[in-house]
Amino acid sequence: MVKVLVVDDAPDVREMISDFLQMEGYNVVTASNGLEALEVMEKENPQVAVVDIEMPRMNGLEFAKKVLNQNPDFPIVIISAYVEKYSMEYISKIGIKNILRKPIKLVELSKAIKELSNHKPNNSPV
């Protein structure tokens, strides 16, 4: 089963995404900021991360930069209401290819994760 790390400082968003992904057949671990997410990465070894940009302590782009410096192929989906605040050139230079604008459509998130992990949810035909 594919393990997904969900990182968002808003507990309601974190819970909504986690609940949806669990219903889709994913194993989910969570963190509330980038620093906590780095600890969870070491302990839980997820295969994909869904990360908000705007968070306290360490934002999502700083987290992504650290992770992708160590593992350039690690799949990260960035979610943010403030995507336009950041240069798309800068975001892609970090190595991020998947960006979803909040409020996110859960179907789009599921599609992005499936493409990144080649995972078929439990309710999908084989």
81-98 mean pLDDT: 81
pLDDT in tens, 94-115: 989 899 988 999 999 999 999 9
- In the chain, the domains with their CATH numbers are 3-117 (3.40.50.2300)
Helix, strand, coil percent values for the chain (each to nearest 5): 45, 20, 35
Number of other residues whose CB lies within 10 A of the CB of residue 123: 8
Cβ partners under 8 Å of residue 101, min gap 6 = 79, 80, 81, 83
Give the pLDDT mean for 79-99.
83
| Of the candidates 92, 109, 110, 91, the residue with the CA atom closest to the CA atom of residue 101 | 109
- Among 13-22, 66-75, 79-88, the range scoring the smallest mean pLDDT is 79-88
CA 25 from chain center: how many Å? 16
Q: Match 């992005």 to its residue by tokens.
A: 112
Edge-to-edge order in the sheet of strand 98-101: 27-31, 3-7, 48-52, 76-80, 98-101
The pLDDT value given to residue 71: 94
- Structure tokens of 75? 């799949």
Whole-structure pTM value: 0.89
pLDDT tens track for 12-66: 999 999 999 999 999 999 999 999 999 999 999 999 999 999 999 999 999 999 9
